[in-house]
Structure 1
Amino acid sequence: MTTTAPATPAADTGTGTAAQRLGAFTAGLRHTDLPAEVVTAARLHVLDTLGCGIAALALGEAAYAVAGADEAGTAGPAAALGVPHGLPAAEAAFVNGVLCHALDFDDTHPDSVIHVSAAVTPAAFAAGQAAGADGATVLAAIVAGNEVSTRVGAAAGGQFHARGLHPSGVCGVFGATAAAARARGLDADRTAQALGIAGSMASGLLEFLADGADTKRLHPGWAAQAGITATRLAAHGARGPATVFEGVRGFYATYLHGIEVDLAPQLDTLGQSWNTPSIAYKPYPACHYTHAPVDALAGILRDNPSLRAADVASMVAYTDATGVGLVLEPAADKARPRTPYDAKFSLPFCLASLLVHGTVDVASFTPDRIADEAVLALSRSVSYEQRTYSPRPDAFGGGVRVLTTDGRTFEAELRYQRGGAENPMTEADVLDKYRANAGLVLGEDGVRALERDVTALQDHTDLGFLAVVRG
């Protein structure tokens, strides 16, 4: 779902290769071009993203990213979560991208299946701090990055997952590059060159699913860092292939060999409709494919407050084909997650956690919790049925059927996950989530100050307010 408005950037985005059209859109975008709904959504996603990163810092997640940046001993103008001194832009973008995705609590665009903001926001902020950009420029950069990421991903119709590729990395690098280029102030040609260069930096494998390794959370960080690097190289004269998207050895032809991809319809609406408001928020810090079944079970428990974990004999989860591969198979691994991150991709574990502990939150995915035998016993009782939900590639629908020891059956299903456009979280919901997450590190005054500063982003002459995230 997109938001349509008549605003059109001054630059001509209708001619040239895909990279050139995206470059013209990005370089020409001004915050005054943006409909009010897009501005509101962009700022709220920034807050949500920063809150997720601050919570990850508080819980010691991805501490290696912070420690590695600190070990390098380099200094620069950009603020990184948990690093007491400023870092060079690329390093800060990497740290922030990793931490903002580390809890898997950050936003996702359903049509492209991309964690958008975890790469775009760090790239825009780091590049903006390095360039001395004002808040209005960075706001435009964030929206440009959102629009580029989601369009590059949506054109592929959800095919990257089937190839073992993580679209948050392989597509996210283009959004991060657009954001960095706009924040730095590159013209249309240099932005197109940067996008061409970024095509050779696109990466991200889903093999972390084999053993719960840490690599998935690195993907937005690398995309943000690569976006800064591609932009820097283009600014100093490096050239990227103009046909990076549509070429016979280009991005789609190589990563999705044998699948026809038409990016043109996504480009034709640049500056006329906006994807930013359709990026979905996450109510749970786990893979989006767990959310609808978990919410369905939560509804059953609300309607039947006497139902307890001890009453449940078995559960049947519902999800689509992509969900089966991500959160239900291999069944033996999903029944007993090997690492906390592995548990975030286990629908049996999430359902069992909700039944046993009454919630699925950031405390659900700790070493102690994933070893909880009461949860694991219930996890082993979960089977699944594959279903079809939305005509869109990935709308994350799902449900659950609960069978009790005394023969009762409870069933609930959500066609669309909570947090997306069809089943939205309210602005108050998102702000409550931000405040709870940011409050794990920042005092109440710090939480409110950062909220005020991001809400007034377009009014700031610089990004000095981000120093608060250094801790």
Structure 2
Amino acid sequence: QGITESFAAAIHALNSAQLTDGVIKRSKRMIVDTLGVGLIGTRTDVFNKALTYSQLFNSKEKSSIWGNSDMSLPAHYAAFVNGIAVHSMDFDDTWHPATHPSGAVLPALLALAEAMPRKPSGLELLLAFNVGIEVQGRLLRFSREAQNIPEFHPPSVVGVMGSAAASAKLLGLSALQCSHALSVAASSAGAPLANTATQTKPLHIGNATRRGLEAAQLVQLGLKGNPDILDIDCGFGIYYRDYNPSVMPGCDDSGFEWTLEKQDVAFKRIPAHLGMHWVADAALAARAKMEEVRSFEPREIIRLTLRVPPSKYINCPLPTSQHQARHSFQFNACSALLDNKVTVDSFNQMQINRKDLKELLSKVIIETPADNKPSFENMYSEVELETNDGQHYAAKCNTFYGHWRKPLSQEDLIQKFKSNASAVLTSEGVEGIIDVIENLEN
């Protein structure tokens, strides 16, 4: 059995009876978090630009735009703009090997479900969602390079494949059609990391969820691609230099186990690149150590040393926009030190332009120790403050709260959702969504 054939067979044959309690619990946490960050993301500039563009197109098919009850679009454009909303603040979940799994799948499924003549059940939605997540998890393990920082932004590569798989599952495509859906989607994969820290980065998720959905819909109309797309180096293998694919166990295979069962996701407490969570927690701990012996006075700090992994795209000494700030070790460390917290409001323009922040940023020194690898599984951040009287206060973070090794409690996850969703919805709407997702399988 070929690699693509095995994936297609599994996508087609997996059934809801195989969803374990652990997978259902974890995927519902992912869904509620994704909806929350997507809802608050509808208040961003990049979302509004994408929505204005998408409204140029009209169709009889209508799917809802999150946070805008009076607007609807064709399913693929609804998926596009809602996907952008999810990643507009870099607030969405992160997996290992690195990708943002939920944002590439959920917007496509909700838009598609709304446009289908027969509305799928909550259990069918859960199954399709987990199929999309599973395909991403399997593909990420085809490359050791994916464990660290690859050449392409990961959700633009595996995310579009997950969207195609999930959409194909919800549409009930045959096994052969599922292989073609993966093939068609692969031709829309890949986005350069050069657009990190710009308004274009959220489009990587928007494009992934939209293009995967379109691939499944095109195949439903008879479009075909290379049925061996995962088997060959010049197929999906083009995105990884050390591509080493393996078959996906079938649903009748006793060896099948959901990747999500074995590997939890990280949920972010602050709307910033995942690497920022280590440095923010280390900075807060360093400030706490200083406050054990003296009051915290930024003007007394003469040097601020950050020991972080080497990474060009999240090393931004003097950010001038919110997107740069979300990808700046320096900004997040200094914000945490000055305010004793990092929040959604930390990234507004007024906060970015603060004089005291810029003064502290000028004192930052970046060091990249040889043992600090650019891997979300193994990296650490250390923050050391040196004061004008020669004292040093340092703290190191190996695992931040929210990491898959130290997951958010259900209470804190729901509180994050409420805080985000309440920026758009009434309290009744917020509680209604929580109730629906808690009982989604029913």
CA–CA separation in structure 2 for the residues paired with 1:393 and 1:94: 27
Change (3 A) 1:19 1:367: same
Give yes or no for contact 1:197–1:240 (8 Å, CA) kept in 2: yes
Give yes or no for contact 1:26–1:182 (8 Å, CA) kept in 2: yes
- Answer 1 or 2: which has greater helix percent: 1
Residue pairs, 1:374-453, within 5 angstroms? 374-387=356-369, 388=371, 394-453=377-436
Shift of residue 340 of structure 1?
A: 1.2
CA–CA separation in structure 1 for the residues paired with 2:436 and 2:211: 27
Match of 2:24 in 1: 39
Change (3 A) 1:264 1:206: same
SS at match of 1:85: strand
CA–CA separation in structure 2 for the residues paired with 1:319 and 1:391: 8
Match of 1:338 in 2: 320
Shift of residue 147 of structure 1?
A: 1.1
TM norm structure 1: 0.86
Deviations 1:37-67 (A, max 9, x none): 1101101111101110111123445211222
Match of 1:157 in 2: 144
Match of 1:365 in 2: 347
Amino acid in the other structure paired with 1:197: V
Amino acid in the other structure paired with 2:42: L
Structure 1 runs of 4+ aligned residues shifted over 6 Å read: 390-393
Give yes or no for contact 2:173–2:220 (8 Å, CA) kept in 1: yes
SS at match of 1:410: strand
Q: 2:3 aligns with which of 18, 38, 42?
A: 18
Aligned sequence identity (%): 26
Shift of residue 162 of structure 1?
A: 5.3
| 1:120 equivalent in alignment to 2:109 | no
Amino acid in the other structure paired with 1:255: Y
> Between Structure 1 and Structure 2, how many residues are aligned?
431
Residue pairs, 1:34-433, within 5 angstroms? 34-83=19-68, 84-111=70-97, 113-131=98-116, 132-159=119-146, 164-209=151-196, 212-252=197-237, 254-256=238-240, 259-264=241-246, 271-275=256-260, 278-305=264-291, 306-321=295-310, 324-328=311-315, 334-387=316-369, 388=371, 394-433=377-416
CA–CA separation in structure 2 for the residues paired with 1:55 and 1:396: 29
Shift of residue 392 of structure 1?
A: 6.3
Shift of residue 164 of structure 1?
A: 3.5
Shift of residue 169 of structure 1?
A: 0.6
Give yes or no for contact 2:65–2:73 (8 Å, CA) kept in 1: yes
Deviations 1:169-191 (A, max 9, x none): 11110011111111112122211
Amino acid in the other structure paired with 1:280: A
Change (3 A) 1:319 1:155: farther
Give yes or no for contact 1:66–1:82 (8 Å, CA) kept in 2: no
Change (3 A) 1:60 1:443: farther
TM norm structure 2: 0.91
Amino acid in the other structure paired with 1:402: L
Change (3 A) 1:218 1:396: farther
Match of 1:10 in 2: none
Shift of residue 396 of structure 1?
A: 4.6
Deviations 1:276-329 (A, max 9, x none): 6511111111111111111111123344443232332222222223xx22322x
Deviations 1:195-248 (A, max 9, x none): 011111102111124xx4311110011001001110011112211212212313
Match of 1:5 in 2: none
Give yes or no for contact 2:136–2:161 (8 Å, CA) kept in 1: yes
CA–CA separation in structure 2 for the residues paired with 1:66 and 1:48: 22
CA–CA separation in structure 2 for the residues paired with 1:267 and 1:145: 15
Amino acid in the other structure paired with 1:327: I
Amino acid in the other structure paired with 1:25: A
CA–CA separation in structure 2 for the residues paired with 1:391 and 1:317: 14
Match of 1:465 in 2: none
CA–CA separation in structure 2 for the residues paired with 1:108 and 1:410: 31
Shift of residue 141 of structure 1?
A: 0.8
CA–CA separation in structure 1 for the residues paired with 2:201 and 2:368: 25
SS at match of 1:90: helix
Change (3 A) 1:391 1:56: closer
SS at match of 1:377: helix
Give yes or no for contact 1:52–1:438 (8 Å, CA) kept in 2: yes
Amino acid in the other structure paired with 1:260: D
CA–CA separation in structure 2 for the residues paired with 1:141 and 1:53: 19
Shift of residue 393 of structure 1?
A: 6.6
Higher mean displacement: 287-296 or 395-404:
395-404
Shift of residue 362 of structure 1?
A: 1.4
Amino acid in the other structure paired with 1:403: E
SS at match of 1:278: coil
Deviations 1:350-371 (A, max 9, x none): 1111122232221111222222
Match of 1:8 in 2: none
Give yes or no for contact 1:313–1:404 (8 Å, CA) kept in 2: yes
Shift of residue 410 of structure 1?
A: 1.7
Give yes or no for contact 2:96–2:147 (8 Å, CA) kept in 1: no
CA–CA separation in structure 2 for the residues paired with 1:456 and 1:77: 26
CA–CA separation in structure 1 for the residues paired with 2:332 and 2:84: 23
Higher mean displacement: 23-32 or 165-174:
23-32
SS at match of 1:335: coil
SS at match of 2:104: helix
Shift of residue 103 of structure 1?
A: 0.4
* CA RMSD between the two structures: 2.3
Give yes or no for contact 1:17–1:242 (8 Å, CA) kept in 2: no
